[in-house]
């Protein structure tokens, strides 16, 4: 399989961005959009090839590729940095999710983006490269590099094409993420230094750090490093005290960017949590898993309660998005195969569903220019097709059986319910009368809250008699149908056949859990 170059996959969007941005490309809006869609489709198809040739039975990294100079030197030899990429069962679904959602976001951009097309599509491709780089990196340094790069296109995408307090929101986004990532950098340097002391080798290779090491970290060191990583990922997921940037960013970002933000960018946090905190620092996560579970439950319930009282459609979806990411945290905290698989499944499910929800909001906003739930109503009368699409996605988000959300949530909650992490949990020697079962039950209560606010929202917006001022509300256009239908297709396919997705990451997850 020589033709499957993972470096090419990562750099392909960036090449597209250069082709688009250069002076040779005509300033014709239609041509730009057509090229962008074509290129994103190409990247998506190329990433599908990796699925075809991926060996699901094998745990660990596949398709590894390292860029070397002609002399056989690493990229930055004096520091032991390799431009190395690889895919395993955890990153493959996320990579395909990325290429898929970027393609859909580009299709959805037709009506939402009305100025500076060249820059917009070029930036989206830079963003795609950055995210693919994060998911595919097999080098801690390269991971960090792409993690930082992702800030720049996102900043511009929110602040130029956004609405409302866009500059404030974009700046908030960039500062929150940057503050998180400096703690990650400190942690990376710490484990890099530690490895150097014990082996005398300078390396950032993820394969070295994630496999069994010949030394073990002292508990205090391990816990501090854990928090360093955790802050970076908690800002991205987002975990409750660090979540305030997300509603702002979502409300002010244009629809396609909201789709990408909720669909892919939040997954970087969950991915990092599994990859770094779980694989590199198993000692620490064993001690701190109860805290992760408690934080996850708080995430689910607290943000669901906030979502209940939202008047703004987009804010409601944003908070629901945070609430659903809490399930990811809960699943990871369970530390067993079911929990981690559930977390991964939930990441994919949430990526698809939240992108769909934001698309729905975008469609409504485009026609009515309002996101206020109380002034909307009866839209279903004018747009039956749109209502059915929306209903499917909303029900998937609520967790209806045979749709993708159900499989994910069941797995995660099952994992948490049977988890043993609380068995040895005590605080300063005091026995804490808290059981994992009770906590999980509280978490499951979040699904009821989700049903409450989403169905209430759906009823307010689509049911009833249509208001006079929305008489001109028209049904979905072919572009929107394409986006919504392809999302629904994924929702239904993996809802009926979750094994198809689980098959890819199960061996890797089992491997990770066994190490812990």
Q: Report in angstroms how near the CB of residue 247 gets to another protein at its nearest.
A: 21
Cβ-in-10-Å burial (0-12, 13-18, 19+) of 427 comes to exposed
Q: Beta-carbon neighbour count of residue 179 at 10 Å?
A: 13
Residue 44 binds another protein (CB under 8 A) = no
Query: Using CA atoms, how far apart are residues 178 and 185, in angstroms rounded to an integer?
Result: 10
Kindly determine how many residues on this chain lie close enough to bind another protein according to the rule CB under 8 A.
40
**Smaller CB separation from another protein, 202 or 441:** 202
Contacts of 175 (CB under 8 A, 6+ apart): none
Q: Report in angstroms how near the CB of residue 95 gets to another protein at its nearest.
A: 20
Q: Report in angstroms how near the CB of residue 62 gets to another protein at its nearest.
A: 26
Residue 76 binds another protein (CB under 8 A) = yes
**Smaller CB separation from another protein, 182 or 201:** 182
CA 319 to each of CA 128, 138, 247, 325: distance values in angstroms, whole numbers, following the listed order: 24, 33, 7, 10
Give the per-residue contact string, 410-449, with another protein (x = CB under 8 A; - = no).
Answer: ----------------------------------------
Residue 8 binds another protein (CB under 8 A) = no
Q: Report in angstroms how near the CB of residue 140 gets to another protein at its nearest.
A: 12
- Spacing of C-alpha 509 from chain mean position: 18
Give the per-residue contact string, 290-329, with another protein (x = CB under 8 A; - = no).
Answer: ----------------------------------------
Q: Which of 30, 49, 182, 489 binds another protein (CB under 8 A)?
A: 182
Among the residue ranges 167-175, 341-349, 394-402, 462-470, the one whose residues contact another protein (CB under 8 A): 167-175
Residue 288 near residue 226, CB atoms below 8 Å: yes
| Bond prior to 135 in cis (omega within 30° of 0) | no
Contacts of 242 (CB under 8 A, 6+ apart): 176, 180, 231, 234, 235
Q: Report in angstroms how near the CB of residue 227 gets to another protein at its nearest.
A: 12
Residue 78 binds another protein (CB under 8 A) = yes
Contacts of 184 (CB under 8 A, 6+ apart): 144, 147, 228, 229, 231, 232, 233, 272, 276
Q: Beta-carbon neighbour count of residue 433 at 10 Å?
A: 6
Q: Report in angstroms how near the CB of residue 11 gets to another protein at its nearest.
A: 12
**Smaller CB separation from another protein, 196 or 497:** 196
Residue 105 near residue 124, CB atoms below 8 Å: yes
CA 233 to each of CA 83, 121, 316: distance values in angstroms, whole numbers, following the listed order: 23, 27, 23
Q: Beta-carbon neighbour count of residue 185 at 10 Å?
A: 16
Residue 160 near residue 168, CB atoms below 8 Å: no
**Smaller CB separation from another protein, 251 or 454:** 251
Give the per-residue contact string, 215-254, with another protein (x = CB under 8 A; - = no).
Answer: ---x--x---------------------------------
Q: Which of 29, 64, 148, 312 binds another protein (CB under 8 A)?
A: 148
Q: Which of 19, 145, 291, 441 binds another protein (CB under 8 A)?
A: 145
Q: Which of 82, 98, 159, 303 binds another protein (CB under 8 A)?
A: 159
Give the per-residue contact string, 192-211, with another protein (x = CB under 8 A; - = no).
Answer: xxx-xxx-------------
Residue 160 near residue 170, CB atoms below 8 Å: no
Query: Using CA atoms, how far apart are residues 82 and 413, in angstroms rounded to an integer?
Result: 39
Residue 436 near residue 421, CB atoms below 8 Å: yes
User: ∠ CA(324), CA(325), CA(329), 5° rounding?
Assistant: 125
Q: Which of 4, 42, 152, 482 binds another protein (CB under 8 A)?
A: 152
Q: What is the 3-class SS of 82-127, one letter each residue?
A: CEEEEECCCHHHHHHHHHHHHHHHHHHHHHHCCCCHHHHHHHHHHH
Residue 330 binds another protein (CB under 8 A) = no
**Smaller CB separation from another protein, 144 or 386:** 144
Q: Report in angstroms how near the CB of residue 159 gets to another protein at its nearest.
A: 5
Residue 330 near residue 410, CB atoms below 8 Å: no
**Smaller CB separation from another protein, 15 or 185:** 185
Which residues form the interface with another protein (CB under 8 A)?
73-79, 81, 145-146, 148-149, 151-152, 155-156, 159-160, 166-167, 170-171, 174-175, 178-179, 182-183, 185-186, 189-190, 192-194, 196-198, 218, 221
């Amino acid at each position: 399989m020589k033709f499957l170059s993972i470096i090419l996959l990562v750099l392909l969007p960036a090449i597209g961005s250069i082709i688009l941005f250069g002076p040779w490309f005509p300033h014709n809006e239609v041509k730009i959009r057509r090229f962008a869609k074509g290129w994103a489709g190409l990247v998506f198809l190329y990433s599908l090839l990796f699925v075809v040739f991926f060996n699901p039975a094998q745990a660990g990294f596949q398709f590894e590729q390292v860029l070397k100079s002609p002399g056989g030197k690493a990229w930055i030899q004096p520091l032991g940095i390799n431009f190395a990429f690889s895919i395993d069962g955890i990153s493959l679904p996320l990579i395909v999710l990325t290429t898929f959602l970027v393609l859909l976001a580009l299709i959805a951009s037709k009506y939402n983006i009305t100025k500076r097309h060249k820059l917009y599509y070029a930036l989206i491709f830079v963003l795609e490269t950055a995210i693919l780089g994060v998911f595919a990196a097999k080098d801690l340094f390269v991971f960090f590099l792409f993690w930082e790069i992702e800030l720049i296109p996102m900043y511009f995408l929110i602040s130029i094409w956004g609405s409302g307090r866009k500059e404030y929101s974009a700046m908030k986004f960039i500062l929150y993420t940057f503050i998180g990532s400096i703690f990650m950098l400190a942690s990376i340097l710490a484990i890099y230094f530690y490895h150097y002391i014990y082996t005398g080798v300078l390396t950032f290779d993820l394969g070295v750090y994630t496999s069994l090491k010949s030394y073990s970290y002292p508990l205090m060191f391990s816990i501090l490093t854990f928090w360093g990583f955790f802050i970076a990922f908690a800002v991205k997921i987002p975990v409750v005290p660090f979540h305030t940037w997300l509603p702002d960013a979502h409300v002010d970002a244009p629809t396609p960017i909201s789709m990408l933000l909720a669909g892919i960018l939040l997954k970087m946090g969950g991915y990092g949590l599994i990859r770094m905190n779980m694989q590199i620092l198993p000692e620490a996560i064993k001690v701190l898993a109860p805290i992760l579970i408690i934080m996850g439950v708080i995430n689910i319930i607290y943000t669901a309660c906030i979502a209940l009282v939202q008047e703004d459609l987009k804010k409601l979806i944003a908070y629901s998005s945070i609430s659903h990411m809490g399930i990811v945290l809960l699943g990871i905290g369970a530390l067993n195969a079911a929990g981690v698989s559930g977390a991964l499944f939930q990441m994919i499910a949430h990526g698809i569903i939240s992108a769909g929800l934001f698309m729905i909001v975008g469609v409504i906003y485009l026609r009515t220019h309002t996101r206020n739930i109380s002034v909307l109503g009866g839209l279903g009368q004018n747009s039956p097709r749109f209502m059915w699409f929306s209903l499917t996605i909303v029900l998937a988000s609520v967790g209806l059986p045979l749709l993708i959300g159900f499989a994910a949530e069941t797995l995660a909650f099952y994992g948490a319910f049977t988890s043993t992490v609380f068995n040895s949990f005590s605080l300063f020697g005091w026995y804490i009368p808290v059981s994992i079962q009770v906590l999980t039950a509280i978490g499951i209560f979040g699904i009821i809250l989700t049903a409450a606010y989403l169905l209430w929202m759906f009823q307010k917006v689509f049911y009833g008699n249509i208001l006079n001022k929305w008489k001109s509300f028209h049904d979905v256009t072919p572009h929107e149908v394409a986006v919504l239908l392809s999302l629904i297709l994924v929702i239904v396919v993996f809802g009926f056949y979750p094994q198809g997705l689980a098959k890819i990451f199960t061996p890797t997850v089992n491997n990770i859990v066994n190490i812990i």
